[in-house]
A = this chain, B = another copy of it.
C-alpha cells in the first residue's frame, strides 16, 4: 500500500510507526470556556486594572445619549420582571470583555426571552435616546461585546430555544442566544453538524457568531456564514421586527437584506433568531498533528494536501513553536510530537472511513518521504481528536495567561502570512515578551499575537501602525474574522475604500438614525 522508495524507506517507516501507534494522548479534554455573562458573579474580575483599556483603542468621547433614570428602570422592570438586573456584582462581569482589556460602566442589564421583548426595549430606548450594547456570549476579541460607557446591556442569554429542525434538509432555526456547543450537540443527535466551530464554542451565542460573521475552524470546508445562514430575524433600532427567517436553501425574491446584519456587530440591528444550514455529520473524522521544519515546507505541505485530500479536507491549521511553548507552560498541555518550528493540524471529514484513511495515509507517506513533514501523529478516536485539537484551540487562553496581549487577526496572500510574524519579531526585538503566530492556513488567516507583562504604550507604538501598513502593502485585511469592534474601528481605511466606508455610514444612518445601537463600534469616529 505504501510506495516507500528505497531512498526514503527507513525514515518513512520510523515515522509511520509513530503514526500507527496512535499515541495515547492524555490531554485535558477541557474546552475553552470564556466567562459568560451569567448571573453568577465572577469575583476574580475586579475593576480598575491599570491596563484595562489599551491606548490603541483611541478612547472615544461619550456621545450625548440620555442617562438611565429610575423611571427607565421602572419601565424595564415592568417589562422584564426578575430579568432587569442592576446588581453591581453581576454587572461587573458583563461590563468586562473576556480579554479583560475593555470595560464599560453600564448600570443595567436586560435579559429578554422573546423577540417582542427585544422590540419593546429598543422602541423605548430609541424614543428615550438611550444607547444599547447587545451582548451574546461576550467572547469577542475586539471590545465589541461590552459597553464603552453606560450603554444598557441587552443580553441574549435567555433567548436560547431551538425553534425548528428539519432532519431532511438539515435546516435549523433557533433563537439568537443558543450557545454554539449546545446547538452542535443538538444537531449531532440528528446526524448533522453545525457549519462552524470555534474555540469559544462553549460560551459564544449563535446570534453573536452571526453578528460578527465568525469564521473558525470549519470555514475551509463549509464556507462562510454568508452562505450557510439562510435567514435572520432582526429587531431594528426603532423596535421594528424584520422577519427574514427563511428556511430555504435558495430565495432570490429581492435584495438579501439579512446580509447587512451579518458581520455588522450589532450596530444595525439586534439579531433575535437565526436559520442555518447544517451539513451532514461525517461518518469518518481523522486528525493529523504534524511538525514542519520551516514555513515554506508547511506551505508546500498545504498545496499537496489540497490536491491529495481534496474534498475530505475540513481544516488545515497551524501554530508556531512559540504557541506550543505557551500552551505547554500555561495550560500544561503536552506536545504530542517531537519539537518543531511549526505544527500543522489537519482534519479530514468524509463518508467512507476506509477511503479517508487511505487518502490520508497516502498523503502522509508523500510528505514524509519528501521530508516536508518531520514528525506527526494521527487520531481517529473522538477523545484523541479532541486532545489534538485542544492544542490549537486553547492558544487564545494560553495567551491570556502570558500577559497583556496585543491581538491581530490578519488576512494575507497565503505565501506572505508568516512573514509578518518574522518581520514583527525582528522589528520589536526585546520590547515584546512573546510574538507568536497561528491560524487558518486554508483561509490565508494569521492570528498574530504580541504579549508583554502589562499594557505598554511604547510597545504599542512600535506595533501600530507598522502591522497595519504591512498588511495594506500586501492588500490584506486588518480583520479577517474578529471584526472591528471598539479596538480596530479607526483602522478600517487600511482595508476599506473611502467610498465603501461612506456607504457603511449611510446604512447606519438609515437603520439607526440616533446611533443608539452599539455606539463607538465598527464605524470609524470620523463618519458616525
Give the chain B neighbours of A226 by CB distance below 8 A: 226-227, 256, 259
Closest chain B residue to A242, Cβ basis: B499
Give the chain B neighbours of A166 by CB distance below 8 A: 413
Q: Are A253 and B355 in contact (CB under 8 A)?
A: no
Q: Are B252 and A479 in contact (CB under 8 A)?
A: yes
Q: Once the chains are docked, how many angstroms separate the CA of A496 from the CA of B231?
A: 11
A263 within 8 A of B: yes
A287 within 8 A of B: no
Contact of A443 among B250, B254, B481, B501 (CB under 8 A): B250
Contact of A501 among B254, B359, B523 (CB under 8 A): B254
Task: With both chains docked as a complex, state the minimum distance between the C-beta of A408 and any C-beta of chain B, in angstroms.
Answer: 13
**Which residues in chain A, 38-97, are within 8 Å of chain B measured between CB atoms?**
none
A480 within 8 A of B: yes
Q: Once the chains are docked, how many angstroms separate the CA of A480 from the CA of B248?
A: 9
Q: Once the chains are docked, how many angstroms separate the CA of A369 from the CA of B37?
A: 55
In the complex, per-residue mask of A271-286: 1 if CB is within 8 Å of any chain B CB, else 0: 0000000001011000
Among A282, A303, A352, A510, find the residue whose CB has the most chain B CB atoms closer than 10 A. Answer: A352
Interface residues on A, range: 35 or more
A218 within 8 A of B: no
**Which residues in chain A, 332-376, are within 8 Å of chain B measured between CB atoms?**
349-352, 355, 358-359
Q: Are B495 and A253 in contact (CB under 8 A)?
A: yes
Give the chain B neighbours of A247 by CB distance below 8 A: 413, 475
Give the chain B neighbours of A488 by CB distance below 8 A: 253
Task: With both chains docked as a complex, state the minimum distance between the C-beta of A138 and any C-beta of chain B, in angstroms.
Answer: 18
Give the chain B neighbours of A518 by CB distance below 8 A: none
A484 within 8 A of B: yes
Q: Once the chains are docked, how many angstroms separate the CA of A443 from the CA of B252?
A: 13
Contact of A504 among B168, B240, B257, B501 (CB under 8 A): B257
Q: Are A351 and B307 in contact (CB under 8 A)?
A: yes
Q: Are B215 and A250 in contact (CB under 8 A)?
A: yes
Give the chain B neighbours of A308 by CB distance below 8 A: 351
Given contacts A168-B415, A242-B499, contact A252 B263 (CB under 8 A): yes
Closest chain B residue to A258, Cβ basis: B500
**CB pairs A–B below 8 angstroms (25 shown):** A166-B413, A168-B414, A168-B415, A169-B414, A223-B227, A223-B228, A226-B259, A241-B499, A243-B500, A246-B495, A247-B475, A248-B475, A248-B477, A249-B443, A250-B444, A250-B481, A254-B504, A255-B260, A255-B503, A255-B522, A307-B351, A308-B351, A311-B311, A352-B355, A355-B359
